[in-house]
């Protein structure tokens, strides 16, 4: 999978959805499409704000796989998440922001990029 090729490369299941209106896609499908739009060639970093919020478990697993693939290809992914249930295995380090204060989180021995 080459993230530089855009959405069809990492989410081929959504080829042909270009004619569908955004409201005809599920929340998870909309998040995958938004992620694809953000993958403009030349990107080195992408910020994802609550990418798993309100997403069905099967699509959360798909998003996790896509994010791991993007990281595996060298893209830096910064995830802002209030619940790290889905992202804990994806990250190298965490930081906590609470009431405007940033505190050191934990370093992860190795994040899964497979």
19: helix, strand or coil: coil
Would you state the pLDDT for residue 114? 47
Mean pLDDT within 9-22: 62
- Whole-number mean pLDDT of the chain? 75
Would you state the pLDDT for residue 3? 45
Angle at 98 between CA 92 and CA 99, to 5 degrees: 155
Angle between helices 27-38 and 57-72 (to 10 degrees): 10
C-alpha to C-alpha distance for 51 and 53, rounded to whole angstroms: 6
Would you state the pLDDT for residue 4? 46
Summarised one tens digit per residue, pLDDT across range 24-50 is 777 777 777 777 777 777 788 888 888
Cβ-count burial 92-103 (b if 16+ within 10 Å, e if not)? eeeeeeeeeeee
Summarised one tens digit per residue, pLDDT across range 71-87 is 888 888 888 888 878 88
| Percent over 70 (pLDDT), the chain | 73
Quick check: 35 and 105 in contact, CB under 8 A? no
């Amino acid at each position: 999978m080459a993230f530089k090729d855009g959405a069809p490369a990492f989410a081929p299941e959504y080829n042909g959805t270009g004619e569908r209106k955004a409201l005809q896609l599920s929340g998870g499908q909309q998040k995958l499409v938004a992620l694809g739009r953000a993958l403009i060639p030349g990107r080195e970093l992408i910020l994802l704000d609550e990418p798993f919020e309100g997403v069905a478990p099967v699509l959360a697993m798909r998003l996790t796989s896509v994010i791991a693939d993007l990281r595996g290809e060298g893209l830096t992914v910064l995830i802002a998440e209030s619940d790290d249930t889905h992202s804990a295995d994806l990250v190298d380090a965490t930081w906590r922001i609470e009431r405007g204060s940033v505190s050191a989180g934990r370093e992860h021995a190795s994040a899964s990029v497979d």
